[in-house]
Structure 1
C-alpha cells in the first residue's frame, strides 16, 4: 500500500498571470469537445515538467547492459 504525500506550492502574481494567459491560449485554440484545463491543473503539470527537467537521471544498469549488447 502506498501512502499519499502532498505539497502546497504558493505562486506569485506573475506566475498566476502567466498561467492565466496560457489557459486563455489553450481555450482559444482547443477543438470542440476537448476537456477544459483548470489553472490548478496547468500549475501541477508545469511543476511536474520542471521536476522532470531538473531531476538527476536515475541510473538503470539493465538499460546500459541492453545498450552494450546491441
Structure 2
C-alpha cells in the first residue's frame, strides 16, 4: 500500500558559488530538514532543525484528516 504524499514547502539558494542550502518544511508537522550540498566536496549533508517525534514515519505524525 503506497503512502499519500506529505505536504511540504521547500526554500533554498546558493550560499556561495559551490554550496547549495535547502530547507524542507513538513507542513502538517513541526519538523524541518536542512540540506547542504557542496560541489567542491561532492557531499550532501542532512540535519533535522527540529528532531522528529518518536520513531515512526512523518506521515503518521501529520494533522488528522476528515473522511472524504
Same fold (TM over 0.5): no
TM-score normalised to structure 1 length: 0.29
More strand by share: 2
More helix by share: 1
TM-score normalised to structure 2 length: 0.29
Structure of larger gyration radius: 1
